[in-house]
Amino acid sequence: MTALTDTATARIVPRHVAIVMDGNGRWAKARHLPRPAGHWQGLNATRRVVRLCHERGVEVLTLFAFSSENWRRPTWEVGILMELFVTALKRELTELVNRGVRLRFIGDRAAFSERLQRQIAEAEALTEANTRMQLVIAASYGGRWDIVQAAQRIAEAAKAGQIDPAAVDGACFEQYLSTAGLPDPDLLIRTGGEKRISNFLLWQLAYTEFFFSDSFWPDFDAAELDSAFESYAARQRRFGRTGDQVASRA
């Protein structure tokens, strides 16, 4: 099953929603504010969207919080973003636990400070038993990095005699990605008006439906989310089959 029916709204709700949260800096610039103000407002939008997805029955929500390329930004801005992560973990963890949300981070953790790595591990452990929704934070993440690290791990397993290279297929490969055990996203939302995926979940987005919003991330609200879900519900997902084949299987 790739989607759930929200009986309260008669709307098809994607099982797994992935979001590229873009436009914090441009939101601030448009208001003649420093870029950090946009990031803090973006955190409020993140809290809002997590709650909305939880209420609508989304099973997995994956948020692109910080890409592997974002390390190229000015040092002062990276420092602010790291502090934002620490603050958000402290501030939001209790609510996530109360809502039954499991927190999971994907990305190259070695790039983070020991303090942040420790807090991430503690947050994951504290929410591990939660089953209402999975909140996946992609931080220090890149789709190419994900594929490369999976290939390296498979090569190491093959070298150790733990896996037969001839037995490596798509299903096997997916078990070595950072998203192992998660369904592929049904819907990708990108805010900020840009129409690209920016090295996000390159393998996992193969058959994902895309929705691009012109709203900057701090302005993304319930109406925008529902528009994305309505657009998704109106589409026919064929996965390589013809429309008639899909209709006959319905």
Whether 119 contacts 151, CB under 8 Å: no
Whether 137 contacts 116, CB under 8 Å: no
Active centre residues (catalytic): 22, 70
Whether 135 contacts 104, CB under 8 Å: yes
Chain centroid to Cα 5, Å, comes to 21
Instruction: Please give the backbone phi and psi of residue 49, each rounded to the nearest 5 degrees, phi first.
Output: -70, -35
Whether 73 contacts 117, CB under 8 Å: no
Residue by residue, DSSP assigns 54-106 as HHHT-SEEEEEEEEGGGGGS-HHHHHHHHHHHHHHHHHHHHHHHHHTEEEEEE
The residue written with tokens 């993140």 in the block is: 46
Cα(136)–Cα(62) distance, integer angstroms = 4
